């Protein structure tokens, strides 16, 4: 699968990763197997958070990556309510304990917090100096918030901004993607299937996706993932437990769309005028 620079970190990460929100809600063995299956197929970027299942998702990831730490790029997130200077360090240590690892590849602020951002960033930098995280990033930040963070941290410190991005929700295309590209910040698309509100084959947009998919011998979801990662600083983290879904998503990492395909999708799923950063 194609690998891309993860912002300014100097690391290369597979373009398709794997989300773990709600992964604890079904059969535990199937959830562990899904993450392992992803690793087998080159899905190294595993996205989790202390919030997911109140730590249960991190425990599932721990089981899945046991003995395979070097293959994985593990991202977790601090809850905004915990994101004080001391709270961030404590939350990270708890995540590491649940994940049974000694460092995270990237640690994110889950969404903007009422705790002052300079305290959260100071904690991230301390965790980095202590070797507990290799890089840090943000999530659900608009351009104003990114500018504030960069003013505090300096250029080249923010590894990524993880944001909502799917075919029916393209607001980040107005300004967030270009700001991140200019500042060498990876954009990680979360809920790339709109949390499974994916356009059905009978809808006009769904028909366009099916047509493009048929021409590439691909699936409509693979076409969607290829569209969402069509620029070099974009990555996506679909969540999948069903083995066929994991396989489908991994193969999307090798699909490249033509300019005509991209234009057709652009017309079928218009950008929209709202510049406001949406969140779930």
Residues that bind ligand NAP (CB under 6 A): 19-21, 47, 110-111, 139-140, 162, 190-196, 221, 237-242, 245, 248-249, 280
Say how far apart CA 262 and CA 33 lie, in whole Å: 34
Which residue's CB is nearer to ligand NAP, number 84 or number 222? 222
What separation in angstroms does the CA of 125 have from each of 104, 129, 219?
A: 13, 6, 42
Is the Cβ of residue 11 or residue 110 nearer to ligand NAP in the bound state? Answer: 110
In angstroms, give the least distance from the CB of 14 to ligand NAP. Answer: 15
Residue nearest to ligand NAP (CB): 19
Which tokens is 227 given?
């569209």
- Please tell me the distance from the alpha carbon of residue 259 to that of residue 273, in angstroms, as a whole number: 23
Smallest separation, CB 129 to ligand NAP (Å)? 25
Nearer to ligand NAP, 203 or 260 (CB): 203
Contacts of the segment 53-57: beta carbons below 8 A, 24+ positions apart? 53/22, 53/23, 53/24, 53/25, 55/94, 55/95, 55/98, 56/24, 57/20, 57/21, 57/22, 57/23, 57/24
What's the DSSP call for residue 199? P
Query: Based on CB atoms, which residue is closest to ligand NAP, 79 or 181?
Result: 79
Smallest distance from ligand NAP to CB 112, Å = 11
Task: Report CA dihedral (234, 95, 52, 160) to the nearest 10 degrees.
Answer: -20
CB of 73 to ligand NAP, least distance (A): 13
User: What residues does 244 pair with on adjacent strands?
Assistant: none
Cβ at position 17, least distance to ligand NAP in Å: 8
Toward ligand NAP, which CB reaches closer, 5 or 245? 245
Query: Nearer to ligand NAP by C-beta: 140 or 229?
Result: 140
Q: How far is the CB of 179 from ligand NAP (least distance, A)?
A: 18
Pick from 171, 221, 163, 228: which is nearest to 196 by CA? 221
């Amino acid at each position: 699968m194609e690998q891309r620079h993860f912002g300014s970190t100097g690391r290369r990460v597979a373009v398709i990763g794997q989300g773990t929100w709600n992964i604890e809600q079904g059969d535990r063995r199937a959830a562990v197997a899904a993450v392992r299956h992803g690793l087998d197929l080159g899905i190294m970027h595993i996205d989790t958070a202390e919030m997911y299942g109140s730590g249960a998702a991190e425990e599932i990831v721990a089981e899945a990556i046991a003995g395979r730490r070097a293959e994985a790029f593990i991202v977790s997130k601090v809850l905004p309510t915990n994101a004080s200077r001391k709270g961030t360090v404590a939350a990270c240590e708890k995540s590491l304990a649940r994940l049974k690892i000694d460092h995270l590849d990237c640690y994110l602020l889950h969404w903007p917090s009422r705790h002052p951002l300079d305290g959260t960033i100071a904690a991230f930098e301390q965790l980095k100096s202590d070797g507990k995280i290799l890089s840090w990033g943000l999530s659900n930040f608009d351009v104003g918030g990114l500018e504030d963070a960069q003013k505090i941290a300096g250029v080249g410190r923010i590894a990524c901004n993880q944001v909502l991005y799917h075919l029916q929700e393209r607001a980040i295309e107005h300004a967030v993607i270009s700001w991140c590209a200019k500042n060498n910040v990876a954009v990680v698309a979360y809920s790339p299937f709109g949390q499974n509100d994916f356009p059905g084959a009978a809808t006009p947009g769904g028909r366009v996706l099916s047509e493009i998919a048929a021409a590439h011998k691909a699936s409509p979801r693979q076409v969607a993932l290829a569209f969402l990662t069509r620029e070099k600083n974009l990555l996506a983290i679909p969540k999948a437990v069903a083995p066929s879904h994991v396989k489908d998503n991994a193969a999307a990492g090798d699909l490249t769309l033509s300019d005509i395909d991209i234009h057709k999708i652009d017309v079928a799923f218009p950008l929209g005028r709202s510049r406001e950063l949406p969140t779930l």
